[in-house]
Structure 1
Amino acid sequence: MNTTDPAGRGVIVTGAASGIGRAAALRFADEGARVLVADLDREGAEATVEEIGRAKGTAVAVVGDLSDQRVVDRVVDTAVGTFGGIHVLVNNAGVMDRMSALGETDDDEWQRTLRINLTAPFLLTRAVLPHMLAAGHGSLVFTASEAGLRGGAAGAAYTASKHGVIGLVKNLAVMYRKQGIRANAIAPGPTATNIRVDAGPGAHGPATIGPLISTTIGRIGSAEEQAAAIVFLASDAAAFVNGAVLPVDDGWAAT
Structure 2
Amino acid sequence: MSVPDLTGRVALITGAGRGMGAAHAAALSALGCRTILVDLDSSVADVAASLSGAVHVIADITAPTAADDLVAFASALGGLDILVHNAGLMHDWRTLAETPPESLDRYLAVNVTAPFALTRAAAPLLRQSKAGRVIFISSQWGQVPDGHSYGYMVSKAGQLGLMKALAKEFVADGVLVNAVAPGAVATRMVPDDRYEEEVAAVPLGRLGRPEEIADVVAFLASDAASFVTGQTIAANGGALIVGI
For structure 2, list consecutive stretches of 5 or more residues without a partner in the other structure. Answer: none
Q: Is the 8 A contact 1:146 1:153 kept in 2?
A: no
Q: Is the 8 A contact 1:149 1:253 kept in 2?
A: no
Alpha-carbon distance in structure 2 between the residues aligned to 1:153 and 1:245: 21
Runs of 4+ in 1 over 6 A off after TM superposition: none
Is residue 111 of structure 2 the alignment partner of residue 117 of structure 1? yes
Aligned equivalent of 2:201, options 210, 213, 216? 216
SS in 1 for 2:65: helix
Bigger drift between 102-111 and 85-94 goes to: 102-111
Matches within 5 A, 1:172-187: 172-187=166-181
Counterpart of 2:39 in structure 1 is 39
Deviation at 1:195, TM superposition (A): 2.4
Deviation at 1:114, TM superposition (A): 1.3
Is residue 186 of structure 2 the alignment partner of residue 192 of structure 1? yes
Alpha-carbon distance in structure 2 between the residues aligned to 1:95 and 1:76: 23
Alpha-carbon distance in structure 1 between the residues aligned to 2:132 and 2:238: 30
TM-score, normalised to structure 2, is: 0.90
Q: Is the 8 A contact 1:3 1:237 kept in 2?
A: no
SS in 2 for 1:241: coil
Question: How big is the alpha-carbon RMSD for the aligned residues of Structure 1 and Structure 2?
Answer: 2.2
Aligned equivalent of 1:227, options 210, 214, 220? 214
Alpha-carbon distance in structure 1 between the residues aligned to 2:100 and 2:240: 29
Counterpart of 2:137 in structure 1 is 143
SS in 1 for 2:21: helix
Q: Is the 8 A contact 2:133 2:177 kept in 1?
A: yes
Counterpart of 2:47 in structure 1 is 48
Q: Is the 8 A contact 2:84 2:136 kept in 1?
A: yes
Counterpart of 2:237 in structure 1 is 250
Distance 1:62 1:234, change over 3 A: same
Deviation at 1:107, TM superposition (A): 4.1
Q: Is the 8 A contact 2:28 2:35 kept in 1?
A: yes
Counterpart of 2:64 in structure 1 is 69
Q: Is the 8 A contact 2:17 2:45 kept in 1?
A: yes
Identical-pair percentage:
35
Amino acid paired to 1:227: A
Deviation at 1:6, TM superposition (A): 1.2
Is residue 151 of structure 2 the alignment partner of residue 157 of structure 1? yes
Distance 1:136 1:237, change over 3 A: closer
Is residue 99 of structure 2 the alignment partner of residue 105 of structure 1? yes
Deviation at 1:111, TM superposition (A): 1.2
More helix by share: 1
Distance 1:49 1:214, change over 3 A: closer
TM-score, normalised to structure 1, is: 0.87
Q: Is the 8 A contact 1:10 1:87 kept in 2?
A: yes
